[in-house]
């Protein structure tokens, strides 16, 4: 196993994901547009006047929500990251790939490269749309870079969860019901839509153990407050994400080894 | 040292999934250049066996070597020497035929020129040239199977493993796939395939292992297996009120040169013969000479079905519902 071989495998596998996406133009459009349309534009406009700016501590609801939508996009992409491998497992394509002399990890790495690239692009699109609706990033372009890094770090753990599920479940029905069970509570029981201070006490407690809250609380000040408020939050998010990723990658690797041998 | 003609050597191989034993104590060899079949009902353990040989499933017991390399310790070497055609139509609906082959070229670490040359060659072999640039969701079942086979052949393997190569195909596609498989053997490629079609095993395989309930029941060429059951048989029945002539007839028939064995059955005899064409008139002659009036003569040539029933105690379609194959 040489590096050239590894690079060739990963490239060929990543190319497959890109080709698939380009064949599913409709699905690509919806993947890209859905978070902005549903959450940022509809939800943002809906609550623009209902939300209390004092409680939000933001110029308006849309700018408050932007950080939440960025992280929700990372969440959804990450949790869906294993779906294609699930189908590959079910229709025998995975086994075909595993019967070739590839390093077992190249399938996983190719999936990561693809999911991360898509997520990164979506984050940029969401921030651009928010900009059109008047949301100005307090930390500017360097802030965008930090948001992307935080998004990627969160995505690593989430995609690992998704792939672990894909390799462990008996049927894809199980997979999608577990995904549904995970994703909405993770959104509602976090600071994505309302600040913690506006939640009932028990919800605050749950939201505090949700890594999503910590990620959003780092992204949001980068958008609405500025570096002084953001830096300690970003530092905290890095610590939380290091733990989160370590746990998820460990579990994911175990599930992968059990399924692939 | 291993016989150079032996390309696969399986010794006491076993696989358990939790409490369930999928296959147990399998031992067989596959010789260079032959078509070796694993015949058995669904759930017999054929696919499990195949998947251990292609290194995607680690055995629980025993060893297997492919071209002299252990399937566990030298899995990577084995993988680079073999081709695999899975049971499911393992195609990506959104990729074209050519893109499938390009992907595999990358996974087998072939150069771009090498890959393209192989692709042209294989598309021609399986007659998919015209459809190479259409996405696979527009392919028929037979075309998908052809693409599967082309994918299995891309690395230019010395051994190709096919899992149920014609399952669910129409008659025409099936004959076409048989042709390809025979063509591969002519090119010196060894083939290991599973099947639950008796006809396929009979027509295609040089040697067979009949596998049922996770164990091998018998191994041999289709002809050997059929001859092993005693070869051709004449079944004679005597008119009802004359059954007392049976012992006489038995002795008379036994003396005939082409007769190998005679067994008494109720109301008649089962006569195992070398050549039914010549022995039939001889048997009738004996009966007339000994004054036995025959009620009827049936001629029976054993089929692989009979072999299967003889070694497993049930027909192929019946299967054994209590054994499981991995999902």
CATH code for the domain in which residue B251 is found: 3.30.70.100
| Residue from the list B82, B87, B106 with its beta carbon closest to the beta carbon of A11 | B106
Domain count, chain B: 2
Where helices occur in B126-170 by DSSP H, the ranges are 141-153
Identify whether residues B53 and B162 lie together within a single domain: yes
Identify whether residues B223 and B295 lie together within a single domain: no
Identify whether residues B219 and B238 lie together within a single domain: no
Inter-residue contact A101 to B80 (CB < 8 Å): yes
Residue A231 has pLDDT above 50, yes or no: yes
pLDDT of residue B4: 66
Count CB atoms within 10 A of the CB of residue A204. 16
Inter-residue contact A114 to A17 (CB < 8 Å): yes
Percent of chain B with pLDDT over 70: 95
pLDDT of residue B326: 37
Inter-residue contact B300 to B233 (CB < 8 Å): yes
Identify whether residues B20 and B168 lie together within a single domain: yes
- Is B325 inside a domain boundary? no
Identify whether residues B178 and B279 lie together within a single domain: no
Q: How far is A243 from chain B (nearest CA, A)?
A: 32
Residue B259 structural domain: 231-301
Nearest-Cα residue of chain A relative to residue B153 = A100
pLDDT digits (tens, 9 = 90+) for B177-218: 999 999 999 999 999 999 988 889 999 999 999 999 899 999
Residue B51 sits in a domain whose CATH number is 3.40.50.300
Report ipTM for this prediction: 0.88
Residue B230 has pLDDT above 80, yes or no: no
Q: Return the residue matching tokens 């084995």.
A: B78
pLDDT of residue B321: 40
| Residue from the list A16, A91, A170 with its beta carbon closest to the beta carbon of B103 | A16
Count CB atoms within 10 A of the CB of residue A162. 27
Q: How far is B36 from chain A (nearest CA, A)?
A: 20
| A257 chain-B contacts, CB cut-off 8 A | none
Neighbouring residues of A169: CB distance < 8 A, sequence distance ≥ 6: A86, A175, A178
Residue A241 has pLDDT above 80, yes or no: yes
Give the mutation candidate from A96, A103, A174, A260 for the B interface (greatest B CB count, under 10 A). A96
Nearest-Cα residue of chain A relative to residue B99 = A16
Torsion over CA: A74, A79, A83, A85 (sign):
positive
Judged by a CB distance cut-off of 8 A, whether residue B179 touches chain A is no
pLDDT of residue A239: 97
Judged by a CB distance cut-off of 8 A, whether residue B151 touches chain A is yes
Of B186, B207, B227, the position where a domain reaches its end is: B227
Inter-residue contact B209 to B219 (CB < 8 Å): yes
Residue B31 has pLDDT above 90, yes or no: yes
- Is B309 inside a domain boundary? no
Confidence of residue B293 (pLDDT cuts 50, 70, 90): confident
CB pairs under 8 A between A and B: 79
Q: How far is A26 from chain B (nearest CA, A)?
A: 13
Residue A38 structural domain: 3-260
Interchain proximity A19–B95, CB inside 8 Å = yes
Domain count, chain A: 1
Give the mutation candidate from A100, A103, A172 for the B interface (greatest B CB count, under 10 A). A100
CA dist A60 and A51 (Å) reads: 8
Neighbouring residues of B221: CB distance < 8 A, sequence distance ≥ 6: B205, B206, B207, B208
């Amino acid at each position: 196993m040489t590096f050239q071989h590894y690079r060739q495998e990963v490239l060929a596998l990543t190319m497959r994901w890109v080709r698939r996406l380009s064949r599913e133009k409709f699905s690509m459009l919806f993947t890209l547009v859905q978070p902005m349309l549903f959450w940022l534009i509809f939800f943002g406009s809906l609550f623009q006047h209902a939300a209390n700016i004092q409680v939000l501590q933001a110029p308006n609801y849309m700018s408050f929500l932007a950080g939440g939508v960025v992280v929700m996009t990372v969440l959804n992409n990450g949790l869906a990251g294993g779906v294609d491998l699930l189908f590959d497992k079910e229709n025998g394509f995975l086994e075909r790939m595993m019967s070739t002399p590839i390093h077992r990890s190249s399938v996983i790495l190719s999936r990561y490269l693809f999911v991360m690239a898509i997520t990164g692009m979506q984050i940029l699109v969401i921030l651009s749309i928010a900009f059109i609706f008047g949301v100005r990033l307090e930390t500017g372009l360097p802030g965008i870079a930090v948001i992307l890094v935080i998004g990627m770090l969160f995505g690593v753990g989430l995609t690992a969860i998704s792939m672990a599920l894909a390799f462990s479940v008996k049927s894809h029905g199980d997979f999608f019901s577990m995904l549904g069970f995970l994703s909405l509570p993770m959104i509602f029981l976090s600071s994505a839509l309302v600040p913690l201070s506006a939640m009932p006490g028990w919800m605050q407690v749950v939201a505090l153990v949700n890594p999503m809250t910590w990620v959003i609380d780092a992204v949001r000040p980068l958008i609405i407050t500025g570096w002084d408020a953001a830096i300690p939050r970003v530092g905290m998010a890095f610590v939380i994400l290091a733990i989160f990723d370590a746990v998820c990658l460990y579990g994911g690797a175990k599930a992968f080894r059990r399924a692939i041998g | 040292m291993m016989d150079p003609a032996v390309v696969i050597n399986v010794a006491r191989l076993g696989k358990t999934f939790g409490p369930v034993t999928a296959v147990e104590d399998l031992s067989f060899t596959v010789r260079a250049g032959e078509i070796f079949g694993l015949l058995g009902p669904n759930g017999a353990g054929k696919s499990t066996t195949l998947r251990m040989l292609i290194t995607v499933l680690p055995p629980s017991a025993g060893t297997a070597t492919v071209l002299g390399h252990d399937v566990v310790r030298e899995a990577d070497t084995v993988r680079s020497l073999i081709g695999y055609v899975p049971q499911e139509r393992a195609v990506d609906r959104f990729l074209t035929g050519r893109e499938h082959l390009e992907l595999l070229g990358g996974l087998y670490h072939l150069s771009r020129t090498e890959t393209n040359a192989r692709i042209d060659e294989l598309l021609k072999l399986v007659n998919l040239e015209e459809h190479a640039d259409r996405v696979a969701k527009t392919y028929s079942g037979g075309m998908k199977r052809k693409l599967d086979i082309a994918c299995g052949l891309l690395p230019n393997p010395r051994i190709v493993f096919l899992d149920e190569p014609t399952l669910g195909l129409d008659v025409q596609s099936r004959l076409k796939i048989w042709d390809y498989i025979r063509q591969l053997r002519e090119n010196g490629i060894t083939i290991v395939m599973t099947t639950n079609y008796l006809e396929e095993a009979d027509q295609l395989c040089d040697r067979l292992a009949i596998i049922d309930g996770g164990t091998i029941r018998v191994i041999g060429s289709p002809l050997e297996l059929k001859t092993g059951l005693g070869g051709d048989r004449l079944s004679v029945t005597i008119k009802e009120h004359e059954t007392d002539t049976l012992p006489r007839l038995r002795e008379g028939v036994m003396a005939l040169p082409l007769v190998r064995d005679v067994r008494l059955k109720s109301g008649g005899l089962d006569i195992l013969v070398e050549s039914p064409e010549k022995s039939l008139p001889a048997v009738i002659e004996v009966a007339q000479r000994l004054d036995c009036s025959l009620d009827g003569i049936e001629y029976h040539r054993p089929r692989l079905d009979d072999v299967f029933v003889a070694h497993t105690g049930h027909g192929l379609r019946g299967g054994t519902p209590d054994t499981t194959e991995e999902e």
